[in-house]
Amino acid sequence: MSVDTIITRIREEADKEIRIIRSEETCDISHIRAQAEQKAEEAYNHRMAEGHREIRQYIASEQSRARIEAKRLVRKTREDIINECFKEVSVHLKEIRKKDEYPALFENLIRECVQNLGKSDILVQVHSDDRSLAETVMKKVNSEGFSIRISDDSIDTNGGVICIRISDNVSIDNTFETRVTRMEREMISIASQILFQNGES
């Protein structure tokens, strides 16, 4: 075999090796690029999923906040309406002494007191405007076996009485203001049922 033949074979084998090496390099680069693209796509998908999750959380949070605010506004509106109702009641009570039904109501308030305090000596405190009415009621009640007398001290009230059992100083406050306060919770419940029958309690 000649030297030229040997050199030619060596060159061919060298070229072949070079082609193999370059082919492997190309494969490696393609593989690396494919891996990089896959990782980039995975990162993108992950970030998009995170973004969608954050958006859902934000929407849920805003909806919850809106519901809470709506309930607060509804509750405040109801409270304002009920407060207006109580203001009207207060105005009515200030004028009730002038009403035709007041004498009968006044007498019932005194009778309720004496029925609870019993047939003992009872002192009745009234507004100065009610003194004449109280004396009339006192005569009727005392004729039934009770013992009440009108106090010299008047009370500041829109109507009603305070009765005191003299023997042990037990008292019953049957003024309109105190009775309204005692019944306020029940009245609020009743007013809410009347005004907001189909609404949330």
Is residue 32 a part of any domain in this protein?
Answer: yes
Question: 147-158, pLDDT tens digit by residue?
Answer: 999 999 999 999
Is residue 81 a part of any domain in this protein?
Answer: yes
| More confident: 146 or 78 | 146
- Residue 92's pLDDT band, with cuts at 50, 70 and 90, is confident
What is the pLDDT at residue 1?
58
Is residue 47 a part of any domain in this protein?
Answer: yes
Q: Are residues 54 and 136 in the same domain?
A: no
Q: Are residues 29 and 83 in the same domain?
A: yes
Out of 98, 123, 142, a domain closes at 98
Question: 20-79, pLDDT tens digit by residue?
Answer: 776 766 666 666 667 767 776 777 677 777 777 877 887 888 888 888 888 888 778 777
Out of 77, 98, 119, a domain closes at 98
Q: Are residues 37 and 113 in the same domain?
A: no
Mean of the per-residue pLDDT values of the chain: 82
Domain total of the chain: 2
Is residue 52 a part of any domain in this protein?
Answer: yes
Write a three-state SS string for the chain.
CCHHHHHHHHHHHHHHHHHHHHHHHHHHHHHHHHHHHHHHHHHHHHHHHHHHHHHHHHHHHHHHHHHHHHHHHHHHHHHHHHHHHHHHHHHHHHHHHHCCCHHHHHHHHHHHHHHHHCCCEEEEECCHHHHHHHHHHHHHHHCCCCEEEECCCCCCCCCEEEEEECCCCEEEEEEHHHHHHHHHHHHHHHHHHHHCCCCCC
Partners of 172 in beta bridges: 163
Q: Are residues 110 and 93 in the same domain?
A: no
Q: Are residues 111 and 89 in the same domain?
A: no
The domain in which residue 178 lies consists of 100-191
